[in-house]
Structure 1
Amino acid sequence: MSDLLLDINLQEVPDNYLAGAWRVAHRVVNQADPDSALAQATSLLLSDDLLQLVAPMLSETGSWAVSRDELLNRPYLRLSFPSEEIRALVTRLRRTADGARSQLNLYFSSGLEMQLDRP
């Protein structure tokens, strides 16, 4: 098995490529609230319509969906929690040829950037 990650065309990516158990590998908080659950998250589980966010002292459950802009068909990840709804632009998705490993980069309007890995 090769560990070479290949870029996936975001305009043609099936929504189910984003589903799965993701581990937060890297984040840049920028001007986002560093105390927010999202800024402290260690993992995200995206399954069916269920979203589970895990942070050191917190676990939140909600729902998720993929939406696309009309002009360029870019995917956005919409995360809905009981207290708020957050939208993130999917800036990069990479996978191994066999789909065993994936890497997902998200950019949130708060300025938070997040790299997620799925082993």
Structure 2
Amino acid sequence: MPDLLLDINLQQLPDEYLAGTWRVSDRVLNQTNPNSALALATNFVLQPGFLQLHAPGHTAQGDWTVQRDELLNRPYLQLQLSEEETRALITRMRRSPDGEFSSLNLYFQSGMEMQLTRP
């Protein structure tokens, strides 16, 4: 991990900053079903109009979009998989100055918290 990471203003977060392959580096399940694909995920691949989720012994495909609430313009990641549909508030995004390293914090409707890192 680089020494310097910059916080991204979430109200101005470009959707393309989310594209790429993300590794799940930390998660807190809370009330989430521990056997769900999201709870077991190790990697997310986000490409325009395409989502692929990797979990041990399981791969799921679907779609993702970014939605924003009207009041504060906070970004939500809407995930649509064949087994489930959910959305997660993007609570923090950080990037290295060269854009090669990023971290993304998500808070799901179920209460699950997840930190993703890239590369």
Q: TM-score, normalised by structure 2?
A: 0.96
Identity %: 63
CA deviation profile, 1:66-101 (whole Å, cap 9, x unmatched): 000000000000001123211000000000011010
| Residue 117 (str. 1) matches residue 95 (str. 2) | no
Shift of 1:3: 3.5
* Aligned mates of 1:52, 1:36 — CA distance in 2: 15
Report the equivalent of 2:105.
105
SS at match of 2:10: coil
List structure 1 segments (4+ residues) > 4 angstroms apart after TM superposition. Answer: none
Which residue number corresponds to residue 30 of structure 1?
Answer: 30
> What's the counterpart of residue 58 of structure 1?
58
Aligned length: 118
Deviation per CA, 1:17-75: give whole Å up to 9, x if none: 11110000000011111111100000000011100000001000001000000000000
How far apart, CA to CA, are the structure 2 residues paired with 1:68 and 1:24? 23
TM-score scaled by structure 1?
0.96
Unaligned runs of 5+ in 2: none
Q: What residue ranges of structure 1 are gaps of 5+ in the alignment? A: none
Letter in 2 for 1:7: D
- Which residues of 2 match residues 38-117 of structure 1 at below 5 A? 38-117=38-117
